Structure 1
Amino acid sequence: MDTLTMVGLLGEGFLVSLQIFALTLVGSLPLGMLVAFARMSRFKPLALLARLYISIMRGTPLMLQMFAIYFVPYYVFGIRLTTDSKWYATIVAFIVNYAAYFAEIYRSGIQSIPRGQHEAAEVLGYSRAQTFFRIVLPQVVKRIMPSMTNEVITLVKDTSLAFSIGVIEMFTVAKQLVASEVSMLPFAIAAAFYWIFNLLIDAVAGRIERKLSYYHD
């Protein structure tokens, strides 16, 4: 098989990886914010529940979580598995896993804002919602950007874990090509795909950080 054909096949697999990546961000970013607010809630049962969720998600392997979400409906509830079950299990597992990490990043960013800024906004007549979205959130975004960028880059690489329950993404395609072609070239091409995409993410994150540079700590 020529190199161009390999690149084409790996490109098709990378599109699946991109779908996992995009759907995970769409689901985990807002869910992480909700979990962060629950974690900071003054209602102790809710805060404890959020802490337990974060502890379980961060304390167990993502691969194990995928297997659990894939097999539990069948073994516990007797729900028949379909050809789409692997895909749904992968997306759900990635979302709930990354939401826990994003929640802690959000929480650290929100709690790093001095209390005096909230009090000053209150004196100026801002509502709690206005204070959060106009004063607190832009500063939080600036402060958490490095940590968020690291997690997003990790997510790109973690999409390769989907192979463990049979989702055919780029890493799966690369393994198949290595086995059939008896060559390490597919792995090298796959690595280039991951690396270039992560360079793009890093560039976008850097641009956002520069735009928010007027918020000085």
Structure 2
Amino acid sequence: MSFDYIVSLIKPMLQGAEMTIILFFIAIIISIPLGFLLTVAVNSSFKLLSLAAKAYIYIVRGTPLLLQLLIICFGLPMLPVIGPYLVLDRFVAASIGFIINYAAYFAEIFRGGLLGVDSGQYEAAQVLGLNKWQTMRKIIMPQMFRIALPAVANESVTLIKDTALLYAVAVPELLHFAQTAVNRDFTILPFFLAALIYLLMTVMISLIFNMLEKRIRFE
């Protein structure tokens, strides 16, 4: 295999990786706050809101992400009456699917972080005269995020790898270009190059979260 051939493979695959990275940041930026709001809803004293949030998390976590993407991209437009209004750009539809899915997983991570906060912290906040909002904002939430950060990091790495599912809904991402090259040139090399690019992206994400963990640990 010549160097020029490898370069010709990498160029379109890097374009696909750009799509992967864009989806990753869209999903992370929206699904983490949404996951936290779901955690708040689950712990709400308003029973109907709590049950709705629990049902959402149960259904989303209990069904495959690929199935959810297929429903959003291909199933919703088939609904009677409203179907034509639910036809979305494939990338937009896939982004919505990833946000919906990962928000449920982050909600469970934050719930675990919330349970990990010592109950004595609430009592200490009452002694200090803090109200419920001040207790959550100044004492509980910082500790919750510190506890949840390693799990958030692991889930973020999984998200990078799950972006390969875009291939199934015809979004031209990294795996799409690798598969195209394999079919065209009848060589397995593009798959190895794709694996290397995925590995580099996951290493970068892991390093960023490791720095965050160290920074939080020493604060």
Scaled by the length of structure 1, the TM-score of the pair is 0.93
Aligned equivalents of 2:186 and 2:195: distance in 1?
17
| Deviation of the 1:160 alpha carbon | 0.4
Q: Which residue of 1 aligns with 2:206?
A: 202
Q: Which residue of 1 aligns with 2:15?
A: 12
Aligned equivalents of 2:214 and 2:77: distance in 1?
49
Any conservation in 2 of the 1:32–1:99 contact (CA below 8 Å)? yes
Q: Which residue of 2 aligns with 1:108?
A: 112
Task: After superposition, give the CA deviation of every residue in 1:146-190 in whole Å (9 maximum; x if it has no partner).
Answer: 211110000000000011111010011110011111111111111
The correspondence for 1:156, drawn from 132, 153, 160, is 160
Task: After superposition, give the CA deviation of every residue in 1:131-150 in whole Å (9 maximum; x if it has no partner).
Answer: 22222222212211221111
1:188 equivalent in alignment to 2:189? no
| Deviation of the 1:115 alpha carbon | 1.9
| Deviation of the 1:60 alpha carbon | 0.6
Any conservation in 2 of the 1:121–1:131 contact (CA below 8 Å)? yes
What SS does the corresponding residue of 1:114 show, helix, strand or coil?
A: coil
1:44-55 to 2 correspondence within 5 Å?
44-55=47-58
| Deviation of the 1:98 alpha carbon | 0.3
Q: Which amino acid aligns with 1:128?
A: K
Q: Which residue of 2 aligns with 1:27?
A: 30
| Deviation of the 1:5 alpha carbon | 1.5
RMSD between superposed Cα atoms in Å: 1.6
1:131 equivalent in alignment to 2:149? no
Q: Which residue of 2 aligns with 1:60?
A: 63
Q: Which amino acid aligns with 2:207?
A: A
| Deviation of the 1:123 alpha carbon | 1.8
Q: Which amino acid aligns with 1:109?
A: G
Aligned equivalents of 2:216 and 2:77: distance in 1?
48
Aligned equivalents of 1:50 and 1:80: distance in 2?
26
Aligned equivalents of 2:211 and 2:55: distance in 1?
35
Q: Which residue of 2 aligns with 1:79?
A: 84
Aligned equivalents of 1:72 and 1:6: distance in 2?
34
1:41 equivalent in alignment to 2:44? yes
Q: Which amino acid aligns with 1:61?
A: P
The correspondence for 1:70, drawn from 73, 92, 109, is 73
CA distance 1:78–1:202, shift in 2 (3 Å): closer
Aligned length: 214
Aligned equivalents of 1:144 and 1:183: distance in 2?
42
| Deviation of the 1:73 alpha carbon | 3.4
Q: What are the ranges of 5 or more consecutive residues in structure 1 without an aligned counterpart?
A: none
Scaled by the length of structure 2, the TM-score of the pair is 0.92
Q: What are the ranges of 5 or more consecutive residues in structure 2 without an aligned counterpart?
A: none
